[in-house]
Amino acid sequence: MTKQRRPGLFGVSEDFSEEFLSLDSKLILRPEATFFFRASNDHLAPDILKNDILIVARSKTPKKNDVVILYHDGERLCRRWPCSLEGAEVFGVVTANIRQRH
């Protein structure tokens, strides 16, 4: 008897597939405090590259070496915490990034 393959899972062993994979449940803990931004440069390469989608949690307090979104002099910036920019306001902590493969 041969196994039937489900559409979209060609070449994936049944032992390694989940029934359903929800990115919402994996990456968004508090939807009302979660925002998405697109990286505009490679400033934090190789971790974050231009055009990566950043998932940002406003509900998290940054700790050392976290990547954060800051507002400084009217600009939105992505930096490692702690940041030495005087007067910068933390918007939120980057909890994940999504990189599309072309």
Q: What is the DSSP string of 64-81?
A: TT-EEEEEETTEEEEEES
Rounded Cα distance, 26 and 99, in Å: 16
Rounded Cα distance, 47 and 77, in Å: 15
Give the tens place of pLDDT for each residue, 24-45: 888 998 999 999 999 999 999 9
Give the tens place of pLDDT for each residue, 39-79: 999 999 999 999 999 999 999 999 999 999 999 999 999 99
Pick the CATH number of 31-98 from 2.40.10.10, 2.10.109.10, 3.30.930.10, 2.40.50.100: 2.10.109.10
Closest CA to 35 of 99, 94, 100, 98: 94
Instruction: Tell me the H-state helices in 16-98.
Output: 23-27
pLDDT at 16 over 90: no
Give me the residue spans of the domains in the chain.
31-98
The confidence band for 98, taking pLDDT boundaries of 50, 70 and 90, is very high
